[in-house]
Amino acid sequence: MSKIKVVVAGCTGRMGLALLDGVMQSDDLTLHAALDHSVSTHLGRDAGELIGGTCGIKITADVAAALKGADVLIDFTRPEGTLEHLAVCEKLGVNIVIGTTGFNAQQKALLGVAAQKIGVVFAPNMSVGVNLTFKLLEMASKVLSHGYDIEIVEAHHRHKVDAPSGTALGMGEVIAKTLGRDLAKCAVYGREGVTGERDPSTIGFATVRGGDIVGDHTVMFAGIGERIEITHKASSRATFALGALRAARFLTSNMAGMYDMQDVLNLKDK
| pLDDT on residue 65 | 98
| pLDDT on residue 129 | 94
Q: Which residues contact 39 (CB under 8 A, 6 or more apart)?
A: none
Would you please indicate which residues are annotated as catalytic (active-site) residues?
Answer: 156, 160
List Cα–Cα distances, 11 to 35, 76, 124, in angstroms: 6, 9, 19
Average pLDDT over residues 17-31: 96
Q: Provide the CATH number for the domain around residue 166.
A: 3.30.360.10
Average pLDDT over residues 24-39: 96
Element spanning 66, H or E: helix 63-67
| pLDDT on residue 90 | 97
Average confidence score pLDDT of the chain: 95
| pLDDT on residue 216 | 97
Q: Provide the CATH number for the domain around residue 17.
A: 3.40.50.720
Cα angle 21, 127, 209 (rounded to 5 degrees) comes to 95
Domain membership of residue 84 (yes or no) is yes
pLDDT digits (tens, 9 = 90+) for 9-23: 999 999 999 999 999
Same domain, 114 and 12: yes
* Residue 185: domain span: 128-234
Tell me the pLDDT band of 125, cut-offs 50, 70 and 90. Answer: confident
Same domain, 139 and 103: no
Question: Residue 76 has what DSSP assignment?
Answer: -
